[in-house]
Structure 1
Amino acid sequence: MTPSEYDLATEHREAETARELGKFMPEELARERAQRGTAQFLPDGADTAGHHLVVAENGSGEVVGNAWIGPDPRRASGTAGAAWLYDINVFPAFRRRGYGSGILSAAEELVAREGWTSLGLNVFGDNEAAIALYQRNGYDVSSMSLRKSVQPAPGIGS
């Protein structure tokens, strides 16, 4: 990934993350949280050790998407050998042509070459296209987080 590709990928990822988080929190807070995530997990940008920021090209050499793969950020017991797909993106003009599956396959090959034993990821629950892509490619739900908005009782929190 070139520096300009990194900048575009970061801008896109942060905007998408903020858009999704904006469903649950104020827009400004969502933007800040997305930017903090980049700073936390990619402190040295594309040169952050242990992380791979890659572009995907088709047979004609056109860049069709990108991905970010690195160590599992959960650092939970049993994840020492696990990699994490932080982001995957197929550009709109190239969607629905199998490139998502191709990028996943290439990510899995990279993970295996690096000696990691699994590849995990998060997906927003309403992203049906992404969920279908992952299921078609053999990914199973390993955990689920649910949320419901509630209104505070009168007089509480004010």
Structure 2
Amino acid sequence: MSRLFLVPSNEYAQDKIDAGSWDAKSANQKAQAEFKQLLPEGLKSKGNYIYSILDDDTKVGIIWIAKLASNPGMAFIYDFRVFDAFQNKGLGTEALTLAAKQAKALGFKTLGLHVFGSNARAIHVYEKSAFQIADINMQKTL
């Protein structure tokens, strides 16, 4: 298992900056704080399920689902990636199907996630996998 999840990537902080959610000065600090809160005991943190996505014996991505504190019946996807070299092969869609089956086997009733509005590729994959919009935040630059 990768130690990828113990330290947030700069990519997450940059996504939050690009979306207008965080300012550049505090983004890395905020990302660190979120990950420490979500994974206080690292990979052994209760209620978190972190999986490698394998195609035969090749690791092609990762997915992290966890019990959502505000809704214990929901598993929430906190991180999901198919590495660049393996994209556009249907692996993301297949991985989401497997994650949903695993979440159901763990006793969850629903599976949720967040996607940045500018990520059209991800939105397409999620819609293809039967995810529906549950909430929309919008903003306008002034």
Task: Tell me if both proteins adopt one fold, taking TM over 0.5 as the criterion.
Answer: yes
Structure 1 residue 107: Cα displacement: 0.9
- In the other structure, the counterpart of 1:133 is 125
Q: Which amino acid aligns with 1:42?
A: L
Does the CA contact (< 8 Å) of 1:55 and 1:66 recur in 2?
Answer: yes
Q: Tell me, what secondary structure is at the counterpart of 1:115?
A: coil
Q: Which amino acid aligns with 2:30?
A: R
- In the other structure, the counterpart of 1:70 is 66
Q: Tell me, what secondary structure is at the counterpart of 1:96?
A: coil
- In the other structure, the counterpart of 1:105 is 97
Please give the alpha-carbon distance, in whole angstroms, between the structure 2 residues aligned to 1:87 and 1:149. 28
Distance 1:124 1:10, change over 3 A: farther
Deviations 1:98-147 (A, max 9, x none): 11112111111110111000000000000000000000010000110112
Structure 1 residue 47: Cα displacement: 0.5
Give aligned pairs, total: 140
In the alignment, which of 13, 17, 20 is matched to residue 12 of structure 2? 17
In the alignment, which of 41, 45, 48 is matched to residue 45 of structure 2? 48
Moved over 4 A (4+): none
In the alignment, which of 86, 95, 100 is matched to residue 94 of structure 1? 86
In the alignment, which of 30, 34, 37 is matched to residue 31 of structure 2? 34
Q: Which has the larger radius of gyration?
A: 1
Q: Which amino acid aligns with 1:110?
A: Q
Please give the alpha-carbon distance, in whole angstroms, between the structure 2 residues aligned to 1:42 and 1:104. 22
Q: Which amino acid aligns with 1:19?
A: Q
- In the other structure, the counterpart of 1:156 is none
Please give the alpha-carbon distance, in whole angstroms, between the structure 1 residues aligned to 2:6 and 2:90. 23
RMSD over aligned CA atoms reads: 1.4
Unaligned runs of 5+ in 1: 151-158
Please give the alpha-carbon distance, in whole angstroms, between the structure 2 residues aligned to 1:103 and 1:29. 33
Distance 1:26 1:80, change over 3 A: closer
Structure 1 residue 31: Cα displacement: 1.1
Does the CA contact (< 8 Å) of 1:14 and 1:35 recur in 2?
Answer: no
Unaligned runs of 5+ in 2: none
When the two structures are superposed, what TM-score results if normalisation uses the length of structure 1? 0.83
Structure 1 residue 28: Cα displacement: 2.9
Deviations 1:14-42 (A, max 9, x none): 32211111222332311111111100111
